Structure 1
Amino acid sequence: MRDIVYFDLETQRSFGDVGGAANKDKMGISVGVAYSTRTGEYHIFGEDQTDELVNMLTRADLVVGYNHMYFDYPVLQGYTILDLASTTVNLDMLIEVEQLLGHRLKLDAIASASLGMGKTADGLDALRWWQEYKKTGNPEPMMKIAEYCCYDVKCTKEVHEYGVNNGLLKYSDRSGNIAEVKVDWS
């Protein structure tokens, strides 16, 4: 059985906190989530478990994400000597859609139009929850981050499966109309 791993992570710090986008490897991981088609389960990783996450990604037959090549991997590079982009087989749906349309779309624009489901929060909420956890030590904010990140991985998985099964993705265009873009992810 082919193992497709869907992947996302949340950070401890913002671009502003680390001196800009060039320093993604200094942002730190609060939570990483991967769904493996081999195990049929979501796997949640804390910062102290990044070796396990990297191992899962490098062993996958395919890693699917949304902007993971330009965001999640560079953040994760702060924890490994491996060049994740070259040691993994990847489908970054953001890159694919951007090449087809000539501009970027948010995952939410595709998930809402294709699946009727949107994101439950955003990365700024996750940063706020991380700060709350660091101040109080209360595990509840960490659970919120993990739940949010799991939901993003679920959206990523279902958008990918929709594209595979239908040969297209729907999205809300800049005018708010539903449009389609053909994809070949079979």
Structure 2
Amino acid sequence: MAGKNIVYFDLETQRSFGDVGGFSNKSKMGVSVGVTYSTARGTYEIYPESEMEKLGEELVKADLVVGWNHMQFDYPVLQPYVFHTMVEQTINLDMMLELEKIVGFRLKLDSVASASLGMGKTADGLDALRWWQEHKKTGQFAPLRKIAEYCAFDVKVTKCVHEYAMEHGLLKYDDKSGRVAEVAVDWK
């Protein structure tokens, strides 16, 4: 992938599945913040809700978008904000979906990251929802910064998991019995 622009991507929502009437209404969840890391740029970019079109443009221009369940979750949440049909106009590696094809069930990013890298998530989506509510109530920037930091850390974890997979040709995860299992992947 040398010379190609890989864009790692994640977003956080304003509302939960419960708030919008279930999984089929992802498009109503709203984006609080989106974060990318571009290998061409070598930096993270944080996109507030007002810049979703710009985020969409970056994803469409990428040589490869890498995420964790971004095809079935993040893209449907982002879709109402952007002109492009995200799934059709992007080249993607959804690591969760690829691993699901191999192991037969959905793995959490945290499980793969902790088993492969010894690093886990710093918070969870419910924290991000709470921070969004705090921001809406108070108008303060600090809760938004917390969401951006959490989301950027998830992008970093996604990037590290992908790099580990490319370097080693495998990923580790905690299997259902609590033991560490390995799965071979060819994502070079």
Q: Deviations over 1:102-153 (max 9, x none)?
A: 0011000000010000000000000000000000111111010000000000
Deviation of the 1:81 alpha carbon: 3.0
User: How many equivalent pairs are there?
Assistant: 186
Q: Which residue pairs with 2:123 in the alignment? A: 121
Moved more, 77-86 or 60-69: 77-86
**1:15 equivalent in structure 2:** 17
Residue in structure 1 matched with residue 183 of structure 2 by the alignment: 181
Show CA shifts across 1:58-104 (max 9, x none). 00000000000000000000112321001000000000000000001
Counterpart-to-counterpart distance in 1, 2:139 and 2:129 = 15
| Alignment match, 1:32 | 34
Q: Distance in 2 between matches of 1:78 and 1:11?
A: 13
Alpha-carbon distance in structure 1 between the residues aligned to 2:42 and 2:82: 26
Query: Where does structure 2 lack aligned partners over 5 or more consecutive residues?
Result: none
Q: What secondary structure, in the 3-state scheme, does the structure 2 residue paired with 1:31 have? A: strand
Which amino acid in structure 1 is aligned with residue 85 of structure 2? D
Bigger drift between 35-44 and 79-88 goes to 79-88
Q: Secondary structure at the match of 2:187?
A: coil
Aligned-partner residue type, residue 168 of structure 1: L
Q: How does 1:1-186 map to 2 (within 5 A)?
A: 1-186=3-188
Query: SS at 2:171's partner residue?
Result: strand
Structure 1 residue ranges without an equivalent (≥5): none
Post-superposition shift, 1:174? Answer: 1.1
| Consecutive aligned runs of 4 or more in structure 1 exceeding 6 Å deviation | none
Offset at residue 17 of structure 1 (A): 1.0
RMSD of equivalent CA atoms:
0.6
Check whether the contact 2:53–2:83 (CA below 8 A) recurs between aligned residues: no
**Aligned residues with identical type, % of pairs:** 65
Distance in 2, matches of 1:82 and 1:146, equals: 24
Amino acid at match of 1:141: P
Does 77-86 or 55-64 show the bigger shift? 77-86
Q: TM-score, normalised by structure 1?
A: 0.99
Letter in 2 for 1:42: Y
* Deviation, structure 1 residue 45: 0.2
Deviation by residue 1:140-173 (Cα, 9 ceiling, x = unmatched): 1101000000000000000000000100001111
Return 80-89 or 93-102, whichever deviates more: 80-89
